[in-house]
Amino acid sequence: MPNPGNPEILLENNDTVVVVPVFSEAPVIASVIDELAQYFPNIYCVDDGSLDGSGEIAAKSGAHVVWHPMNFGQGAALQTGIEAGLENPEIKYFVTFDGDGQHSPLDALEMVRTLRAQEFDVVFGSRFLDERTELTTAKRVVLKLAVSYTNALTGLKLTDAHNGLRAFNRSVASWIHLSHNGMAHATEIVNQISKGNFRYCERPVHIVYTDYSKAKGQSLWNSVNILFDLILR
């Protein structure tokens, strides 16, 4: 069962769904859910064809689990989770949150609070608005190239376009329809938000790159693959 957390904050966020795409995250998914459950009562994990029992662990940890019969990719998992959240008419806000332990629930909390002020429809997390996130020079350069390409493609002005930590309201959730199953879904989200003329801002977030998250796809080569995927599309 999840840690009970702060009752006042949990009540505050009863109108929020955190969507966590999960693919074979058995070593960390219970702790990710436990930390999220301190602040968010509605955690939707989409088990994207895991081979290690991640979905079962997530369910035992207190998350609502939606199952894919096979691995469709992170974009498809996010779309499934968003659609599941939209089935509840009381949900007003959505957070996308990686399942490998690199995101901070406190950052997610502040992003949702920014949405509650009603000035913005979308809040993007950015690794480049403060100095907390440790990046190699090579990875920083590749990510900057990727965001420059995305900004040119979409017309938005972001400092970080491929960070999986985002928050948006129900109108945006209803608008988004992801078709790119791979990592290019991040640019697809930005492009759709641009076409919808939604109000957006960025907030600084702290991304923790552990040996585990690097092994799961947060290496420099993954950043290079994202860049090439963008160009080829």
The C-alpha angle 166, 167, 172, rounded to 5 degrees, equals 110
Q: What is the pLDDT of residue 118?
A: 95
pLDDT in tens, 142-166: 888 889 989 998 999 999 988 999 9
Q: What is the pLDDT of residue 231?
A: 47
* Domain 7-232: top CATH class: alpha beta
Q: What is the pLDDT of residue 221?
A: 45
Spell out the per-residue pLDDT of the chain, length 233, in tens: 445 688 999 999 999 999 999 999 999 999 999 999 999 999 999 999 999 999 999 999 999 999 999 999 999 999 999 999 999 999 999 999 999 999 999 999 999 999 999 999 999 999 999 989 988 888 888 888 889 989 998 999 999 988 999 999 999 999 999 987 666 788 899 999 999 999 999 999 999 988 887 777 554 445 445 554 544 45
Measured distance CA(201)–CA(74) in Å, rounded: 23
**Start-end of H helices in 40-104:** 54-60, 74-86
Torsion, Cα of 14, 103, 162, 95 (10° steps): 0
Asked whether 194 and 139 are in contact (CB, 8 A), the reply is: no
pLDDT in tens, 92-131: 999 999 999 999 999 999 999 999 999 999 999 999 999 8
Asked whether 126 and 205 are in contact (CB, 8 A), the reply is: yes
Q: What is the pLDDT of residue 212?
A: 85
Torsion, Cα of 168, 171, 177, 182 (10° steps): 0
Domain boundaries, the chain: 7-232
Return the structure tokens found at 92.
């007003």
